[in-house]
Structure 1
Amino acid sequence: MADTDARTSLISLLQGVEKFNTEVFPQNRELFAELADQQSPDTLFIACADSRVNPSMITQTRPGDLFVLRNIGNIVPAYGEMLGGVSSAIEYAVLALGVSHIIVCGHSDCGAMKALLDPDPTKLARMPTVASWLRNAEAARAVAGVLQATDAGPQSVRSLAEQNVLLQIAHLRTHPAVAAGLARNTLILQGWFYDIASGEVVVLDETTRTSIHVDEAIARLNKTGTETPAA
């Protein structure tokens, strides 16, 4: 049964490729011709690897608009602690591609946040790499605990996910390329939280550690020109 389900799922993916080749690509041939030899995205979008989070759909952007970095828990280790795929992607996005915005986006019902809130650490015993990775979000759990997020219910998971986004933005500031961009005022950092059930996205304010609606964030940016709630 499992083998049949796996083959059926793979066939579905391949059928999707066929549809892309025969219908979607021809309708967007000019766009892909422009992208064939170069990319110039404005935004580095750091998101969780959760299959329910689709950055391009959430932002209504096209291929070439976002440079996307995804991992479990939308985590950014502080510079020097875990040099690897995340730090190299950030460095490349800022220095080679010249992105002007970095978004860190958390989401509701995040499995990584649930794992951090779970009082039984033995559940991660068979996933030591995941357990090690989640240590980069421990400080967020401490803050969420102060805010009374102490169980794995939806509100506690949301509170922790929001604090985790703010923590990862703080970690971003330790990366030399990001620090230089902020010093030159050529880079904006912003944290988002995406609610899967409602589709709502809110912007997280670093100063107040609270969320604001997207329309208010837009109004602030229009008013100041460069100010952002999470920078």
Structure 2
Amino acid sequence: MQHIIEGFLNFQKEIFPHQKELFRSLASSQNPKALFISCSDSRLVPELVTQQEPGQLFVIRNAGNIVPSFGPEPGGVSATIEYAVVALGVSDIVICGHSNCGAMKAIASCQCLDPMPAVAHWLRYSDAAKAVVEKKSYSSEDEKVNAMVQENVIAQLNNIKTHPSVAVGLRNSTLRLHGWVYDIESGVIRALEKNSQQFVSLSENPEVYFE
């Protein structure tokens, strides 16, 4: 814990003074352009990977970058999506998975999650991705996990379209959806291309988006 406190003290002393005007402008309002939904994994830091300053990303992080379909009992994810789209008026939503995802590995390997019933329940929102992956054969466990990561991004993109605020934004062409997979070792991001349903290099296809 001490190194976290020391990090804050360094921020307060060395970083904050150089960005004082930025934080002053953010003190009373925010105007992010994108909602970024990613895994809680400590190795993926959305603001670092996308090089965004405070105030530029509205972020949801949870195990497996999961978006439950809209239902009668909205939870934190549903409420945050609705707030981002309706109140903040974000124009883009990114759902970003990553390599070596523990949640997707647990699903792909049918890991026993009895000691973690809340996690087991949460990962049921990836059942569509699991069903697709289970219908195919893979040469290795790593290949299966990678497929699960990609299919999960696709499944969550489909889930988010059931949210009324998102459906309206897509219908009115005021909102775009993006599906990304970040590779931790190489730093490469692959983005889902709508027509081909394939993940392509984002650096080589910077204009690509899902919908």
Give the TM-score normalised by the residue count of structure 1: 0.87
Aligned pair 1:157/2:137, yes or no? no
Which residue among 179, 193, 204 is the counterpart of 1:205? 193
Deviations 1:46-105 (A, max 9, x none): 000000001011111100000000000000000007621000000000000000000000
Answering whether residue 62 of structure 2 is matched by residue 71 of structure 1, we say yes
Q: Compared with structure 1, are the counterparts of its residues 130 and 82 closer, same or farther at alpha carbon in structure 2 (3 Å cutoff)?
A: farther
Q: Contact (CA 8 Å) 1:75, 1:168: kept in 2 or not? A: yes
In the aligned structure 2, how far is the partner of 1:128 from the partner of 1:149?
A: 28
> Secondary structure of 1:124's partner?
coil
How far does residue 217 in structure 1 lie from its aligned partner after superposition? Answer: 2.8
Q: Does the alignment pair 1:195 with 2:176?
A: no
**Kept in 2: contact 1:149–1:157 (CA 8 A):** no
Rounded Cα–Cα distance in structure 2 between residues aligned with 1:112 and 1:98: 30
1:104–1:169: 8 Å Cα contact kept in structure 2?
A: yes
Which ranges in structure 2 are unaligned for 5 or more consecutive residues? none
TM-aligned CA deviation for residue 119 of structure 1: 3.0
Corresponding letter in the other structure for 1:174: T
Partner SS state of residue 46, structure 1: strand
Whether the 8 Å contact between 1:194 and 1:202 is mirrored in structure 2 is yes
1:106 has 2:97 as partner: yes
Contact 2:189 2:203 in 1 (8 A): no
Question: Distance in 1 between the 2:16 and 2:154 partners?
Answer: 38
Distance 1:24 1:35 in 2: 16
Identity within the alignment, %: 45
Any unmatched runs of 5+ in structure 1?
Answer: 1-9, 222-227
Offset, 1:131: 0.3
SS of the residue corresponding to residue 169 of structure 1 reads helix
Query: Residue 13 of structure 2: SS of its match in structure 1?
Result: helix
Aligned to 1:58: 49
Q: 1:215, CA displacement in angstroms?
A: 3.4
Go from structure 1 to structure 2 and tell me whether the alpha carbon gap of 1:48 and 1:102 turns closer, same or farther (over 3 Å shift). same
User: 1:148 offset after TM fit, Å?
Assistant: 2.4
> Which amino acid in the other structure matches residue 229 of structure 1?
Y
Q: Give 1:82-161 correspondences, 5 Å limit.
A: 83-120=74-111, 123-149=112-138, 153-161=141-149
CA separation of 1:132/1:102 partners in 2, compared to 1, >3 Å: closer, same or farther?
Answer: same
CA spacing shift, 1:107–1:81, aligned 2, 3 Å:
farther
Q: TM-score, normalised by structure 2?
A: 0.95
Q: How many correspondences in the alignment?
A: 211
Secondary structure of the 1:141 match is helix
Q: Post-superposition shift, 1:158?
A: 1.1
CA RMSD of aligned residues (A): 1.5
Q: Is 1:229 aligned to 2:172, yes or no?
A: no
Which residue pairs with 1:49 in the alignment? 40
What is the CA deviation profile of residues 154-204 of structure 1, one whole-angstrom value per residue up to 9, with x for unaligned ones? 221111101100110000100000000001100000000000011100101
Distance in 2 between residues matched to 1:131 and 1:51, nearest whole Å: 20
* Higher relative helix content: 1
1-structure distance, mates of 2:97, 2:178:
11
The DSSP-based 3-state class of the residue aligned with 2:106 is helix
